[in-house]
Amino acid sequence: MTKIKVVHYINQFYAGIGGEEKADTKPHVAEELPPLSKQFDEKLGDDFEVVCTVVCGDTYYNENMEEAKSEILEAIKSYEPDFFIAGPAFNAGRYGVACGSIATAVKEELKIPSMTGMYPENPGVDMFGKSVYMIETKDSAAGMRKAIKAIVAFAQKYAKGEEIGSPKEEGYIPQGRRKN
């Protein structure tokens, strides 16, 4: 069986580049998978492979949204992925906006199933929560273990085209739709 190819998006912090002082980092593909992407690759199991990590600084993305999004989409497209994961962003506002924006663009423009994870009060939820699945996380990276576990469980179903249950059953933030 062919593995499901996954592209992962993270900010400068999770890529190990730096914090606010490196938030102007331009979009690029990491030379090797950062630790968070490696965790996703390991936990997703044998049916999946994280083929690359796309990185962009939070400030750079939010100050150059259209240009950054275009560059990131081109990088993602070049890997011909079957699935896309952004974040998780927790309650980091600029990171949440970037994750929601990119996940939505990947889904709508590249027609690739995509998802992210964030805290319900993140501004990215209000902006993009109706268009892309967002796994509910704690407000900070202290909840990373649980976030990874929840994102992986959802991704394994969603990427394989299995039926997605209710927000309560699956752990995603409600999208304002009811399913009979």
| 77-103: pLDDT as tens digits | 999 999 999 999 999 999 999 999 999
| 4-17: pLDDT as tens digits | 999 999 999 999 99
Mean pLDDT of 53-66: 98
Residue 1 pLDDT class (50, 70, 90 cuts): low
E strand or H helix at 57, and its extent?
none
| 34-45: pLDDT as tens digits | 999 999 999 999
Question: What average pLDDT does the chain have?
Answer: 96
Sign of the torsion formed by the C-alpha atoms of 155, 159, 164 and 167 = positive
Residue-level pLDDT at 176: 82
Q: Has residue 179 got a pLDDT over 70?
A: no
First to last CA, the chain: 34
Q: What is the pTM of this model?
A: 0.96
The residue written with tokens 């980091």 in the block is 92
Residue-level pLDDT at 99: 98
The residue written with tokens 């933030």 in the block is 173
Q: Going by DSSP bridges, is the β-strand pair 114-118/133-136 parallel, antiparallel, or unpaired?
A: parallel
Q: Of all residues in the chain, what percent are helix, strand and coil, respectively (each to 5)?
A: 45, 20, 35
State how far the Cα of 129 lies from the Cα of 15, in Å rounded to an integer. 24
| 101-151: pLDDT as tens digits | 999 999 999 999 999 999 999 999 999 999 999 999 999 999 999 999 999
Sign of the torsion formed by the C-alpha atoms of 121, 124, 128 and 132 = negative
State how far the Cα of 99 lies from the Cα of 121, in Å rounded to an integer. 14
